[in-house]
Structure 1
């Protein structure tokens, strides 16, 4: 691979303009594909096949009129209750929205409330009539009983007379009519009783608050929420927020707002600025610092636009391209930096420009390819979870990383060829001129072996470092997974205001009502349906934390009954999570006609199902990643203990990252700093994403640091001194790369999307801990304590495993020992390589 990359670097340096133009053409094609083929990004996370999805499919099949998505609009009077004039304006506004393209209709809260009040009045009037009829029947019964008592009190002889017998027969006939009337009244009263039961259970389901100050309108779409075109949502939002109802606030729920996050904003720009400053400090030249930035930006442009071009044919979450931008920028800058750093050292040592570019591409470029492939493998492995949207996120992220790798080994050499020695500062150019003259006399000057660290220091570093990471990881023991609701949005957004107003006026559960279906064993007749609904409602209302239950409808065949259940807690609360489980556990549910199977749907239920499925997939994915980590590192370092320590370090940094995420986003620590308005569950797919990305990046830093230790040890340095030598050789560039990556990820914490904020924080903190605590402190300490044992490899594995030359050391040795003219380029190439080797420690 190193020799192939050596030739590739020389070829790109030989035709730099063609290479740069090719990448710019690919960027133009990507942008064109996105503009012509790109589709709508979704903000709704769903997994087909979950219990919620199955119930949703049932509802869509049996209640097609209600199969489209819907969103809530909150109308809140700034002072007092809503007036008649304000109500009329709101009704007219909802009517205009209902006439928009893509909107099936709207629900007027005042009309719905009036209908409910009318139904309540009708039920009350009907009950009065029944009570009156029952009173008449009771009065008639009393008269009959009194007449019968009088006749039965007569002497026996008198009772046998024809007149008395006729009276008794008349009384019996009246009794028969009374019994029939009572039975008829009972039949009439049964629907009224059922209606009263339903009305009482639905008392808490309201669209106008009890104080008359807040009303909830509903906008119903033709398509499911995740499939509603952006233009439709924007038109609805513009109509609602553009209208002015004097004295009334109009706020929209998440479902009505197109929440596609911005890919690049002020926070991201600040992170990129920090990365640029770091590059200038490390490279000590402004021209050289521009190269990694240009490489990363072009690579991100190609990778993300190509991925977005597929959004028209696959369902893609809005976070997916943002993740591609995060990774593309971070690894794109780092990978290009590694090659440039090597190239600049070689140029300073007097190596000819084409040879330096080729050798840097063949050595550092080889390490970049290997490091990038570890990230690509980890992200691609997300597809084994069986969760579609997560696999697509991993695939897009892997593609963007792959583009960054190819950019580093093609675009970077081409730009370096165009810049020539301008990538060096004035001092480095002077040193290059000094070393580019006739070859000086070579004397055997042994490279001084650095002194190893003290063992006591290594022990203290290990104990303190592990203790700190373990302490940070403690909050992870209470991590809860979920999906954000309106309360997680920024406080100045309409989604947050809608959530808070709804919770205050109607209770927390009104922000996430549950849809419950009861499937009975046989079709129900018209007369059976209302009592059946009442029976099911009574059992649902008896479940703890149920505030109200309202019937939604009965399927055409009478086998599926649908209900809206209002929970006591909000969509992400633990009580609602338990309520979903309790409702599902009601199966088989006893009903007036037999038994029914209970299913639950709704946003809260869907979030719970998604989170549970992701949590179930997490251990298997973690085991896969850890297994890959061990195998890759055994192959690279030809050691057993080095991979084990590297993997344990990764697990430590991973759980510390989980602890920090839990403390900030679930517990609310430093919430004001990170824009957390309301603490809630950790984003359900965040742990899985963090595992995949952090694994790849951790292995990158492990490769760049420990490979230097292995090289020093292989060249004869004592094991513990080799640790210090390798750390000194790679520390500067790894620190710079980590700062760049942390700053790029941290820039996304300022996003207006809580999903992007949490991903940015998790990755920034994970890289910070893994690079500066695990790789730069703990791993060297462990390697020192292990000594020669760190490089032990069983004899059978020694024969089986191939010798993977990650940094291209064999290529460098071959070029350095080749006779003049036998190298791949200039006849004096070998002389300059020896120069570079001699001055490597300068």
Structure 2
């Protein structure tokens, strides 16, 4: 009944096309307003709810005067010749610090040659040889709400003093965030232009390409707008809008291109625009609606189950699924009718006018590949499974955590600052840890000095000292400077050692408690949270894909294998990320240092990959299960091979367009953007070239053979060799110059 209702909606929008287009045009204005000036209220709190690192951060706010944990950046100064005490260089440093201290958004700058610098940094801010110094810059903004505009001004002002005598770099969380603040617009526009050209070549019509592009743009804009509105009422992460927009773009563009192609096929047979649009929508409505429903139901399950890191992005993904289906079902049929025969292009329209038919479908590489998969479906599935398993094998080496500025490319000032500090001081100065002591009540409370003494005798700790102490609240904040950098395994081991051994031993005879926070502790908690949530998320994905495929294909084997294949694609993608970014020989090719993989990157990659797959898979599956299609009957092979050859190339083209756009993201200098680009590109490629080009059609072939073995007559391929010929059909009497169209066929010799 639902499919009948959706089909009726599509038919109504095709007949009342101007009303449908007008309604979406009216909705577009407020949507654009919310996207541009919606003032989204995203949460920048990266702590894991309920984790020890979050507890430490919350208590730290109570100890620090003002209740705000300030953002502390670092200006790293290095004398290229001589020392920083040389008069000329020292004068430059004084002017630099004075100018930075006057900038808006800066609370104070600690002079590395004064007592405040040592007090803020915890160690001497000047290196032993006197050539390097670290000047802490305390910003007015919170460490959880970075003021990137102010940090950018600090970076520009400080680095303007760099020259042949003095090297100036900016380090800290804000400087690292600036590296991945955004993608330059020009390369992205160039990629989109190339993608639109590829789309035009696939559909052979600018009008058809523009129809698909308009539908995709409408779905993307409305998804981002709704996510922006929801951010005022629901806790939403900053990249939720980007994730939702990407899913909406991929789902709506893939579905609309397939429907446009089917409408073109109907127009080429001489069907009128309204009937062609209706026919294309009727054949695709089940797959389009089911794909959006599958995504929305799965993401709703993620929300209800509260799967930690997946919860924040599930809302945007669910919104993308609903709006993509809604736009495709209502706006697309209206645009198809308005496009009419112009969707065929000039040559196709001329052929339709003169012969009553559009251009015939000519066999090519796509037909050859479809026949190969049809001849050896079991071998194709086996090879695909072996490939996915081999690519997923490196998952066992996956290191979850976070990469500090030392993993960024050397073109970033944060990376150069990290290297200078690591070389002339020690790596751990780039990422201090926090230990917050809650004394508790009663006589059996711990002495903070005992905790500091235990920390200073712990292997891996360079120095520990009391930063703030509040006897009134019973809280004390201890800064711990580890020997190793935040992304190293030594820092992770130190976090677990402090939590499990050192602090419990000191606090055991008392009622006091201590909590470990900081960058390395946050990374460790994020990794643990992701590992806990991943099995249930995988189960939700398997259940959603399997159930929806079974409802569409009525085959338990097809549903199970397709669900496992989708999961395998996700694991293979993670395996590729582990191989590329955790080994220096591969990371170096991208200008990076090896390091662990951030869990939020994997969340983004897995959710986007799953969000794009159901609609495209079901669209192809619905075509493969059709008994035949006009215009392709003459090609060699059974109906499944003909369906594969008919729309398989269209589906692959959509994925190629997405891979092209993601290559721009990979080319950016930021390690985060490279991770996102490689992860999404690999996921899209595996889903397209393994699942949709091999596994899915092979499964339908095997299912048909099983039905044949059960007594259904088989469609057999001619045993003798065949040659290609061209059969001209009779043209209608109204053909312009009497020229007859034709089609390719196979004849036995």
TM-score computed with the length of structure 1 as normaliser: 0.74
Pick from 98, 105, 108: which aligns with 2:108? 105
- Alignment partner of 1:508 is 2:423: no
Q: Secondary structure at the match of 2:587?
A: coil
Pick from 671, 687, 710: which aligns with 1:754? 671
Structure 2 residue aligned with 1:661: 577
Tell me whether 74-83 or 656-665 shows the greater mean CA deviation.
Answer: 74-83
Instruction: Mark the runs of 5 or more structure 1 residues left unpaired by the alignment.
Output: 117-201, 438-449, 794-837
Distance 2:669 2:140 in 1: 29
Structure 2 residue aligned with 1:189: none
1:134-167 residue CA offsets vs partner (Å, 9 max, x unmatched): xxxxxxxxxxxxxxxxxxxxxxxxxxxxxxxxxx
1:713-759 residue CA offsets vs partner (Å, 9 max, x unmatched): 99xx9xx9454344334323222233233333343323444333322
Distance 2:692 2:370 in 1: 20
Distance 1:737 1:580 in 2: 46
Distance 1:752 1:18 in 2: 46
Structure 2 residue aligned with 1:649: 565
Greater CA radius of gyration, 1 or 2? 1
How far off its partner does 1:351 sit? 1.0
Q: Is the 1:272–1:744 contact (alpha carbons within 8 Å) kept by the matching residues of 2?
A: yes
Q: Secondary structure at the match of 2:513?
A: strand
Residue pairs, 1:653-692, within 5 angstroms: 653-668=569-584, 670-671=586-587, 675-692=590-607
Distance 1:355 1:452 in 2: 31
Residue pairs, 1:538-617, within 5 angstroms: 538-557=453-472, 559-585=474-500, 586-590=502-506, 596-617=512-533
Q: 1:333 to 1:57 in 2, by over 3 A?
A: same
Residue pairs, 1:270-281, within 5 angstroms: 270-281=190-201
Tell me whether 46-55 or 587-596 shows the greater mean CA deviation.
Answer: 587-596
Distance 1:451 1:399 in 2: 35
Q: Is the 1:473–1:660 contact (alpha carbons within 8 Å) kept by the matching residues of 2?
A: yes
How far off its partner does 1:477 sit? 0.8
Q: Is the 2:260–2:280 contact (alpha carbons within 8 Å) kept by the matching residues of 1?
A: yes
Q: 1:331 to 1:92 in 2, by over 3 A?
A: same
- Alignment partner of 1:423 is 2:423: no
Pick from 394, 413, 416: which aligns with 1:475? 394
1:781-834 residue CA offsets vs partner (Å, 9 max, x unmatched): 4554555547999xxxxxxxxxxxxxxxxxxxxxxxxxxxxxxxxxxxxxxxxx
How far off its partner does 1:344 sit? 0.7
How far off its partner does 1:215 sit? 1.8
Q: Secondary structure at the match of 2:497?
A: helix
- Alignment partner of 1:227 is 2:229: no
1:508-545 residue CA offsets vs partner (Å, 9 max, x unmatched): 111111112334455799xx99xx44433332123222
1:189-232 residue CA offsets vs partner (Å, 9 max, x unmatched): xxxxxxxxxxxxx9983322222222222222344223244554
Distance 2:494 2:707 in 1: 53
Distance 1:773 1:539 in 2: 55
Q: Secondary structure at the match of 1:226?
A: coil
Distance 2:139 2:295 in 1: 41
Structure 2 residue aligned with 1:56: 57
Distance 2:112 2:466 in 1: 17
- Alignment partner of 1:711 is 2:713: no
Q: Secondary structure at the match of 2:561?
A: helix
Aligned length: 693
Structure 1 residue aligned with 2:264: 344
Distance 2:109 2:22 in 1: 53
Q: Is the 2:392–2:574 contact (alpha carbons within 8 Å) kept by the matching residues of 1?
A: yes
Pick from 273, 282, 290: which aligns with 1:370? 290
Q: Secondary structure at the match of 1:598?
A: strand
Pick from 73, 82, 85: which aligns with 2:84? 82
Structure 2 residue aligned with 1:694: 609
Pick from 135, 144, 147: which aligns with 1:217? 135
Distance 1:326 1:742 in 2: 12
How far off its partner does 1:605 sit? 1.1
Distance 1:114 1:707 in 2: 68
Distance 1:315 1:521 in 2: 32
Q: 1:339 to 1:304 in 2, by over 3 A?
A: same
Instruction: Mark the runs of 5 or more structure 2 residues left unpaired by the alignment.
Output: 358-368, 711-741
Distance 2:652 2:65 in 1: 58
Q: 1:663 to 1:292 in 2, by over 3 A?
A: same
Q: Secondary structure at the match of 1:711?
A: coil
Tell me whether 43-52 or 282-291 shows the greater mean CA deviation.
Answer: 43-52
Q: 1:106 to 1:311 in 2, by over 3 A?
A: farther
Pick from 596, 602, 626: which aligns with 2:542? 626
Q: 1:769 to 1:341 in 2, by over 3 A?
A: same
Q: Secondary structure at the match of 1:38?
A: coil
Q: 1:313 to 1:646 in 2, by over 3 A?
A: closer
Residue pairs, 1:222-621, within 5 angstroms: 222-241=140-159, 247-257=165-175, 259=178, 261-262=181-182, 265-309=185-229, 311=231, 316-384=236-304, 386=306, 390-433=310-353, 457-520=376-439, 532-557=447-472, 559-585=474-500, 586-590=502-506, 596-621=512-537
Q: Secondary structure at the match of 1:219?
A: strand
Distance 2:184 2:439 in 1: 52
Q: Is the 1:68–1:221 contact (alpha carbons within 8 Å) kept by the matching residues of 2?
A: no
Q: Is the 1:296–1:333 contact (alpha carbons within 8 Å) kept by the matching residues of 2?
A: yes
Structure 2 residue aligned with 1:639: 555
Q: Is the 2:625–2:700 contact (alpha carbons within 8 Å) kept by the matching residues of 1?
A: no
1:611-653 residue CA offsets vs partner (Å, 9 max, x unmatched): 2112211111111111122222222222211111111211222
Distance 1:602 1:249 in 2: 28
RMSD over equivalenced CA pairs, Å: 3.8
TM-score computed with the length of structure 2 as normaliser: 0.82
More helix, by proportion: 1
Structure 2 residue aligned with 1:70: 71
1:576-625 residue CA offsets vs partner (Å, 9 max, x unmatched): 11110100112433379967533211122112212211221111111111
Q: 1:21 to 1:388 in 2, by over 3 A?
A: farther
Distance 2:480 2:438 in 1: 16
